Structure 1
């Protein structure tokens, strides 16, 4: 590890900053993990798009269809490829606590910056607070690495700001990916100032959160590498403008991406988010590939709709990237 347990919060405050992206996991045509493609994507995101950190093997990365060995291998690749120049946060989420701890200890061993653990699904439980506190307390006790909580409606409930603030008192609970209504994450930001880094996955709210809540971390979803290319880094540009206090100019640049956001939203078939985003990656020249079951692939009509929307959205891409996927 890069720090001692008692330094986890200070390490996070120093290093968990800027734009962090949740990695999709590229697969080969025969549904093996595309390790070479994943490495190319990581280098491209960090070195050419200016992404500050990468979230590995999460829900967007189809962790639910990966073996434990594959998830560990993705951790290793990320640290090896970008660990010396960008942040890494490894998703260790699982319903089985032994699996969570196994993955987390591997993340520690290979030198990951931090881990994230999703709040578990709580079958037949209607008052979750004590159970959840004990869940994260046990993880904190067993592990030295910095831990980010993750609360999302997928769990069947949302963790309250008050519960999150209580958990944030634990020594190596450093952050939260808080996929909740804005009033909830704004309250948690106020409750935990200096103790917990609060973020949410909505790129469209990112600039307002810099301006109004003084956030310095976007943690994280796929827009940082879907809204940008080597010749069009407007998300990086508006973020840097906002960090410098140039809010009016930042809003102009942010708003100029609305056609790209709209193209992504309107061509996303129900139930196929990873498949659509992977194909969009390919149109940008990144490694995408197919999805694994239970996720469904795109139909040819869906691919054609995405191609048309991509071509007309105004996102500048190198000529070679567009030409290679014109068919």
Structure 2
């Protein structure tokens, strides 16, 4: 059982606490590709305390979970829960192609006091009539676990869960949220269909403000912008979020729009095939711990690193 709430209270707990700006963590590795625990702890302190993020999404795609052992993923969860305690929430990514591994990671998350887990929709190599399969996947997880579960789906996996399917899954007792990386029409429809049964979010930072204002969203369960486009002395994502939550929409738009040079600079140098390596190098330039990526991912070339440095220099971000 979760140490923070009963299964029957998972939705209420999430509505009260699964709020604000949550970022997807990168996993720090040493040059020999071992887990850099000290570096990960340093980053966690920065994200949770200096940047004051609402929560962190640990060991997802940005965190290279696919190249990590089960033991390493568990250890990363433990480090995250320890460093976040008293500062921000933690949702652990338990996604895997093997259901037994998903359940093992989820139960570990429950036992160590994570707030929630996130589980990607299952890998399906034949995408015809998926609804029954996907529903049963999440129904089984809900039955087996007490912790609040966030769904995760996006077109990259080969299929998109319909808003109607997501709303049906949302009826399950401890399904609390979804990271729904789809077009705006689809997530708007799900927001309307699901009501207060599930918290809907999407990965796009550029759409976050409009979703607060137009859809009354209170959760941004996102990717890496909250720690790549913010520093200790420049926290404009946090600032426009606060203003929007306070109903100061015009002021929030001014702050949001002021970040466009940083967004454009970040996009301008990002290689198409190495997003995690690019993220880690940008982190290093901001004073965070990056390090190499693991195979099958590729590290940046020296030319790509030079382009990244040039991009950051014209981003307008204030560095600590």
Matched, 1:116 2:115: no
Instruction: Give 2:276's aligned residue.
Output: 274
Deviations 1:117-152 (A, max 9, x none): 000121124110000110000000000000000011
Contact kept, 8 Å, 1:290 with 1:297, in 2: the verdict is yes
The residue correspondences of 1:221-300 to structure 2 (distance < 5 A) are 221-300=223-302
Per-residue deviation, 1:312: 1.5
The residue correspondences of 1:1-327 to structure 2 (distance < 5 A) are 1-318=3-320
User: 1:261, 1:26 → 2: CA distance?
Assistant: 24
Contact kept, 8 Å, 2:229 with 2:317, in 1: the verdict is yes
Partner of 1:26, secondary structure, is coil
Per-residue deviation, 1:302: 0.4
The alignment's C-alpha RMSD in Å is: 0.7
Partner of 1:71, secondary structure, is helix
User: 1:123, 1:293 → 2: CA distance?
Assistant: 23
Contact kept, 8 Å, 2:27 with 2:64, in 1: the verdict is yes
Structure 2 unpaired stretches of 5+: none
Aligned length: 318
Deviations 1:24-76 (A, max 9, x none): 11111111111111111111111111211000000010000000000000110
Per-residue deviation, 1:4: 0.7
Per-residue deviation, 1:91: 0.2
User: 1:155, 1:234 → 2: CA distance?
Assistant: 32
